[in-house]
Amino acid sequence: MSHLHIPDGVLPPLVWILGAILAVLVLALSGRFTRHQGPQQIAFQSALGGIMLAVMAIPMPITAFDYCMTLAGPIGVLLGAAGALQVSFVVTVILALLGQGGFTVIGLNTLVLGAGAALARPLYCSLVAWLKPPGAMAAATAISQLFSSALWIGMLWLSVRVAPQSARDHEIAHALVWFKGGALVAVLVPLLGLAVGVEALLGYGLAGFLERVRPDLLPRSAGTPAPSPEGVKP
Amino acid sequence: MINTFAQVDYLASAGRSVWHRASAFTKLLAALAAVGAAVFAPGWPALAVLLVTAIALTVTAQLPPRLILAAATTPILFALLFVLASWHGHLVDALVLGMRPVISSLIALWLVGTTPYPDLFAPISRVMPRALGDGLFLTYRAVFTLLDRIERLWKALFLRGALEGPLRRRASMMGEAVGTVVLYGFERSQRLYQVMHLRGHSGRICGCRHWLEVREEDAWVLALVVWILLSSLYLSGVPRT
């Protein structure tokens, strides 16, 4: 749900062009925060990006349908906002080259996937003062997933608002009417709930494991400096 | 999807068609022209020509029919939601909405199926900040190693019955399994960092230099760009229905 997978030619150009410009600005900003990072951090980001892609490729037998995870929340917690946005962009570009989501929606996909991931670490750092790391990770993952989904729906709404006179926006307006119609909501809301629940449980298991074997990889509560993989000796 | 990854990667390096011998830069330009033409084409005549062109490209690139079919049908599943949602009795509008993503997906397959990834990422990474450019190369490399590990892990989980039982237990176990992969990825990144140092990493992965080597075969790619632009411009004036 948090990954659009919308192919080329469906959204109005104004929306995806704005998305692309916004994504460039956000990535440039993230570049300012990470400009002093060494190759070790880039290698770590890339390893997590690889995990994100590999995990997305494996369908999980959760219900009668297979569900593809994104791991955006846990990766956002491990990397922080700037790193998570950069990883989201790289993953989105590679997916677009494989025909999963269009070239023109790379910007929007990055924003939707990356924004949720970027939110995850601040949430985790706030929550870990109250909860144990697995619980904080699960909650941060769930909230970031819901945030991404809200952005996805907001993007559709924006498609209608930006240029309501154009034919394609009319189509999107129809899509929203259909959403409101109830039939789709009845299908999507339970699926979204299930997806958020599964991602949260995965985050719970992941944080539980890391807490036991490598707690230094997990960020600490707000106010405590987060550990960096650069500081960890191999 | 990852099997597709591996298959496309192999085809890009092992293929012998005229498109494989053309430079990555001109192919990238052709792909951008084709996707742009598909997205902005106002009606079905131009899209029909682009679709035939895209199919011809994938066939002449000697890509397997199964892969071509997969590339053509995958975006349809996602576009179907929008086609159904926007359905108001006009078949042509639905056709236009459905054809655009198919063309784009076929063009993407043609591009990645005929261009090895170092050549493909080299021009893209040049216009990106260092972290993103290097990330493209390293992430792509990491996928294959990590996927192999994840697949083995999933198999082991399945055989040991970890994929049975209540959802809470299954998801939590899978989370722990993903944790081992994260740890492996972290350790791998440490080794990679040391290798980069040993090999004299200068602060940026530049990829190879083949991407801009213009050859005779690039004339075919330039002819393709001219064909796409001219046919799209000409057919844009043709009535839609």
Please state the three-class secondary structure of B49-84 as a single string: HHHHHHHHHHHHCCCCHHHHHHHHHHHHHHHHHHHH
Indicate yes or no: CB of A98 within 8 angstroms of CB of B139. Answer: no
pLDDT band at A232 (very low <50, low <70, confident <90, very high): very low
Residues 70-129 of A with CB under 8 A from B: 71, 74, 78, 86-87, 89-91, 93-94, 96-100, 102-104
In this structure, is residue A4 part of a structural domain? no
pLDDT classification of B172: cutoffs 50, 70, 90: confident
pLDDT (0 to 100) of residue B88: 64
Q: Which residue has the higher pLDDT, B128 or A132?
A: A132
Q: Please determine, for residue B112, whether its predicted confidence score (pLDDT) is greater than 70.
A: yes
> Across the interface, do A99 and B75 touch by the CB < 8 Å criterion?
yes
Question: Chain B residue with minimal CA distance to A28?
Answer: B129
Residue A155 confidence (pLDDT): 78
pLDDT in tens, A108-131: 888 888 888 889 999 999 888 888
Considering only the beta carbons, identify the residue of B2, B71, B181 that sits closest to A99: B71
CB pair distance less than 8 Å for A206 and B179:
yes
Q: Is residue A5 part of a domain?
A: no
Total length of chain B: 241
CB contact under 8 A, B185 and A47: yes
Tell me if A21 is assigned to some domain.
yes
3-state SS, residue A118: helix
Same domain, B133 and B83: no
Q: Let me know whether B6 and B74 are in one domain.
A: yes
Given CB atoms, is A46 within the 8 Å cutoff of chain B?
yes
Pairwise CB contact (< 8 Å): B81 & A71: no
Task: Determine phi and psi for B13, rounding to 5 degrees.
Answer: -90, -35
B205 within domain boundaries: no
Number of structural domains chain B divides into: 2
**Domain co-membership, B36 together with B74:** yes
> What pLDDT was estimated at residue A234?
36
Q: Are residues B111 and B145 in the same domain?
A: no
Are B128 and B113 in the same domain? no
Judge whether A219 lies within some domain. Answer: yes
User: Does a structural domain hold residue B178?
Assistant: yes
pLDDT given for residue B208 in this prediction:
61
Average pLDDT over residues B211-230: 83
Instruction: Indicate whether A124 belongs to any domain.
Output: yes
**B207 occurs within a structural domain:** no
Distances (CA, A) of A197 to A145, B115, B209: 10, 40, 47
Looking at the structure, tell me whether residues B97 and B140 fall in a common domain. Answer: no
Q: Which residue has the higher pLDDT, B87 or A78?
A: A78
Q: Is the pLDDT assigned to residue A68 strictly greater than 80?
A: no
pTM for the full predicted model: 0.82
Rounded to the nearest 5 percent, the helix, strand and coil shares of chain A are 75, 0, 25
For residue A39, give its domain range.
Answer: 13-231
Residues B53, B132, single domain; the answer is no
pLDDT for the residue numbered A22:
92
How many distinct structural domains can be found in chain A? 1
* Higher local confidence (pLDDT), B217 or A138: A138
Residue A139 pLDDT:
92
Report the pLDDT value the prediction gives residue B90, as an integer from 0 to 100.
Answer: 72
CB B7 within 8 A of CB B201: no
What pLDDT is attached to residue A25?
92
Domain-located, residue B230: yes
**DSSP characters over A130-189:** TS-HHHHHHHHHHHHHHHHHHHHHHHHHHHHHH-TTSHHHHHHHHHHHHHHHSHHHHHHH
The residue ranking higher by pLDDT, A163 or B6, is B6
- Residue A189 in any domain: the answer is yes
* Residues B133 and B86 both lie in one domain: no
What's the CA gap between B21 and B221, in Å, rounded? 10
Answer whether residue B206 is part of any domain. no
- Which residues span the domain enclosing B15? 2-117+214-235
Residue B204 falls within a domain, yes or no? no
Q: Examine residue B208 and state whether it is found in any structural domain, yes or no.
A: no
Please indicate, yes or no, if residue B203 is contained in any of the structural domains: no
For residue A214, what is the nearest residue in chain B, using CA coordinates? B183
Buried residues in B32-58 as b, exposed as e (16+ CB within 10 A)? ebbbbbbbebebbbbbbbbbebbbebb
Nearest-by-CA chain B residue for A234: B190
pLDDT per residue as tens digits for the range A157-176: 776 666 444 445 555 566 55
Say whether A50 and B139 touch across the interface (CB within 8 A): yes
Rounded Cα gap, residues A191 and B15, in angstroms: 42
Nearest to B82 among A35, A96, A175 (CB): A175
State how far the Cα of A195 lies from the Cα of A71, in Å rounded to an integer. Answer: 11
The tokens for A157 are 């709404």
**Are residue B170 and residue B100 in the same domain, yes or no?**
no
- Binning pLDDT at 50, 70 and 90, where does residue A183 land? low
Per the CB < 8 A criterion, the answer to whether A146 and A61 are in contact is no
Closest approach of B133 to chain A, Cα-based (Å) = 9
The tokens for A88 are 């989201």
Compute the average pLDDT of residues A198-222: 83
Q: Which has more confidence, B10 or A186?
A: B10
CATH, residue A49: 1.10.1760.20
A53 lies in some domain: yes
Give just the sign of the alpha carbon dihedral A179, A185, A187, A189: positive
Q: Average pLDDT over chain B, rounded to whole?
A: 80
Closest alpha carbon within chain B to A175 = B85
Please check whether residues B52 and B74 belong to one and the same domain.
Answer: yes
Predicted local distance difference test score (pLDDT) of residue B53: 92
Domain co-membership, B93 together with B141: no
Mark whether B9 and B110 lie in a shared domain: yes
In this complex, is the C-beta atom of A183 within 8 Å of any C-beta atom belonging to chain B?
no
Q: Which residues of A touch B100 (CB under 8 A)?
A: 7-10
